[in-house]
């Protein structure tokens, strides 16, 4: 199998807005992508990464808030409870943070990298990170949660990121 090289796509790159396809059958290629995603997440000092962020339009995420690595395929939130507000950053939005209200506790169903069903009950930071990464699979970004005032405040940074993304696209 060829070595899979991944890079983090930044705001402005169209792949971040695409809805991810469900993975029908998990293969060695998917396991390799999940491993590379985890390596990239760790080397980038992140705590979560979704496949669209690395240019792959498939429903896969990796998450590690310090309590162990989750490699999840086709994750779906089946229950939400409570509310919490956290300031969230994103590897696809370097230098940008947005306060977001999300569920405090969630129950999630997914498959592990070998296709086995997984059920996760998460709360606090883990719940937030899982919701954030699942948003990526729907083409939803942190900036979509920003108020009008926050968007105005972040306008310069967002323009700079979009310009960088365009320059990258043109250099390919």
As a whole number of angstroms, the distance between CA 107 and CA 33 comes to 25
What CA–CA distance (Å, rounded) separates 97 from 89?
A: 4
Whole-angstrom distance, CA of residue 108 vs CA of residue 117: 11
Burial track 17-45 (b if 16+ CB lie within 10 A, e otherwise): eeebeebeebeeebeebbebbbebbeeee
Q: Are 88 and 102 in contact (CB under 8 A)?
A: no
Q: Which residue among the candidates 13, 88, 113, 133 is catalytic per the annotation?
A: 133
Are 154 and 93 spatial neighbours (Cβ–Cβ below 8 Å)?
no
Q: Does 133 participate in catalysis according to the annotation?
A: yes
Q: What angle do CA 86, 16, 22 make, to 5 degrees?
A: 95
Nearest to 36, CA basis, from 5, 65, 2: 5
Residue positions annotated with a catalytic role: 133
């Amino acid at each position: 199998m060829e070595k899979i090289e991944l890079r983090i796509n930044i705001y402005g790159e169209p792949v971040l807005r695409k809805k991810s396809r469900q993975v029908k059958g998990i293969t060695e290629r998917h396991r390799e992508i999940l491993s590379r995603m985890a390596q990239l997440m760790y080397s980038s000092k992140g705590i979560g990464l979704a496949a669209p962020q690395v240019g792959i339009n498939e429903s896969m995420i990796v998450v590690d808030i310090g309590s162990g690595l989750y490699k999840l395929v086709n994750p779906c939130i089946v229950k939400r409870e409570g509310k919490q507000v956290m300031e969230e950053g994103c590897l696809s939005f370097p230098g940008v943070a947005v306060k977001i209200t999300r569920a405090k506790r969630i129950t999630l169903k997914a498959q592990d990298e070998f296709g086995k069903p997984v059920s996760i009950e998460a709360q606090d930071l883990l719940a937030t990170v899982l919701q954030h990464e699942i948003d990526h699979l729907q083409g939803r970004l942190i900036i979509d949660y920003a108020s009008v005032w926050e968007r105005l405040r972040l306008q310069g940074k967002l323009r700079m990121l979009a310009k960088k993304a365009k320059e990258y696209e043109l250099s390919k």
